[in-house]
Amino acid sequence: MLKLNKKRTCLIGFAFFGILLLWQVYDSWCPTLLTEIIKNRMGAQNELEIQWLVGIIMACDNLAALILLPIFGSLSDRTKTPIGKRMPYILVGTFVSAIAFPFIPLFFHLNKIGAMIAMMAIVLLFMMMYRNPAVALMPDITPKPLRAKANGIINIMGYLGGAFATVLGMVFVLSNYIKGEHTLLTIEMPFVIASLLMVISALVLFFTIKENKVAEEIKNEMEEGERMAAIADPVDDDKPMSKANKIMLLAILGAEFLWFMSDNALGTYINNYVIYALGAASSKTSNLVIFGGLASVVGFATAGYLADKVGRKWTISFGLGLTLIGLFLMCFVRASVNTYVDKAGTTYNVFPSLLMVVWIIKGYGMALVHNCSFPMVVELCSSKNIGKFTGYYYASSMSAQTVTPVLLGLILKANGAWSVLPKYAAILTCLALVVFTACVKNIKANKVANAKGLEALGDDD
């Protein structure tokens, strides 16, 4: 009987901790920093006029990632070193990203837009070197039927990183800096702290997970996992991918593209939405992330139970449906007519509680989606191609993140109102739900149950 080594999975989760920590700081601050520096350079009167340009800059980095992710995935599949095939990429990507990351706010403060964008590109480039191998490490040493359970643990670890980054955002309030009420320290410290913690998380991973040793120890378990996989046809490295498995892969990736189009649009523009559309303090975005993150943790902890009962397909479909309900509610969010004055004497609109409800619903729903979708993709390959298929998964998500900031930026410019954001996200989520439900088969893993409830955080072997 296969059993998940939860201690080892938690340690692998430190890689995801570092990833989400950096991304949360990056996504929360960079679009607004770009908005301010471009608006000042161009003399724009309205931030909506230049969101398309912000979107292009954000998307250019993702376009490079779209090309590099599959390359680093395939390279790491074929790499052999004394410290493993993934670890060299993780270490190099971590340290270079950590060095470059704090220079982004520094160059913003110095009003050097070219240097700021160059630092953003370097961070994205080396995080792609880090990300694919780091994510592939889990399925490398986890049998297929246990990967939904392991993915729940790893995502919880990642959201702890995101939550920590959110706390930094609450301490160092970006909207106050924009109004000239704080110094460089306000925007620099979140980036510096994120870099330090990312390095520490990578070192913890390096000193506790010995790739080659673990792979040899669990060789028999991995072979047993192949026989229990939840796929239409068995995987054979010496034969072409079966038609049924290929259709399944394309359907998952297509739906994933659509839900990442939606989710990334919200992630990229929510801080600007809160500041410019709602007139609220940027620290309130941190509250969204905290409560949405708590809902996500509950989702990751319960996703295995739902997948065990109804299968991964219907778990993902249920998550997309919940997210769609949340986005429908977001269409009715309006800026409050009530205001308050903070300790610094700055006047803000009261944050609408409905948006908090939306983020909790969306957090839980998308946790179900993310928890089960990645295991479904790597279920369709053998252990020799995990990096390659991880590249497929991230190529789909990154291509969505390349398109959506530019597309939504142009729509915002043409429409002239932030109210288009939830409508845009809702339409894409609805399309993802239709594609996924109609085209993906529901196949359960044989014999081995997924994690139930909070068993995802259970005892070690």
User: CA-CA distance, 70 to 394, in Å (whole number)?
Assistant: 8
Q: Where are the alpha helices (DSSP H) in 79-112?
A: 87-100, 103-109
- Residue 209: which of 7, 401, 2 has the closest Cα? 7
User: CA-CA distance, 64 to 67, in Å (whole number)?
Assistant: 5
Return the pLDDT at 231.
60
User: CA-CA distance, 371 to 380, in Å (whole number)?
Assistant: 16
- What amino acid is encoded at 145 in this protein? P
**pLDDT tens-place string over residues 211-259:** 889 888 888 887 776 676 656 566 666 677 778 888 889 999 999 999 9
- What amino acid is encoded at 395 in this protein? A
- Residue 89: which of 74, 104, 102 has the closest Cα? 74
SS3 call for 339:
strand
Strand partners, 59: none
Q: Where are the alpha helices (DSSP H) in 236-385?
A: 243-272, 283-310, 312-330, 353-378
**pLDDT tens-place string over residues 74-84:** 888 888 999 98
User: CA-CA distance, 319 to 217, in Å (whole number)?
Assistant: 36
The token pair that represents 18 in the structure block: 């570092």
In a structure prediction context, what are the per-residue pLDDT tens digits for the chain, which is 461 residues long?
Answer: 677 788 888 888 888 788 878 887 887 788 888 888 888 787 766 677 777 788 788 777 667 777 887 888 888 888 899 998 899 999 999 999 999 999 998 998 888 989 999 999 899 888 888 888 888 888 888 887 777 778 888 878 877 776 676 666 656 666 666 666 566 777 788 888 889 888 988 899 899 888 889 888 888 887 776 676 656 566 666 677 778 888 889 999 999 999 999 998 998 888 888 888 888 877 777 788 778 888 988 998 888 778 878 888 899 999 999 999 999 999 998 888 787 776 667 777 888 889 999 999 999 999 999 988 988 888 887 777 888 888 888 889 888 888 888 898 889 888 878 889 999 999 999 999 999 999 887 765 554 444 443 333 333 33
Q: Determine the length of the chain.
A: 461
User: CA-CA distance, 198 to 178, in Å (whole number)?
Assistant: 27
CA dihedral (301, 271, 57, 108) positive or negative? negative
User: In Å, what is the CA distance from 77 to each residue of 101, 379, 385, 460?
Assistant: 28, 16, 6, 28
SS3 call for 341:
strand
- The four Cα atoms 403, 259, 21, 276 give a dihedral, to 10 degrees, of 70
Helices and strands: H and E segment counts in the chain: 16, 2
CA dihedral (36, 38, 39, 41) positive or negative? positive
Q: How crowded is the C-beta side of 61, counted as CA atoms within 13 Å?
A: 23
- What amino acid is encoded at 129 in this protein? M
pTM of the entire structure?
Answer: 0.72
User: CA-CA distance, 71 to 69, in Å (whole number)?
Assistant: 5
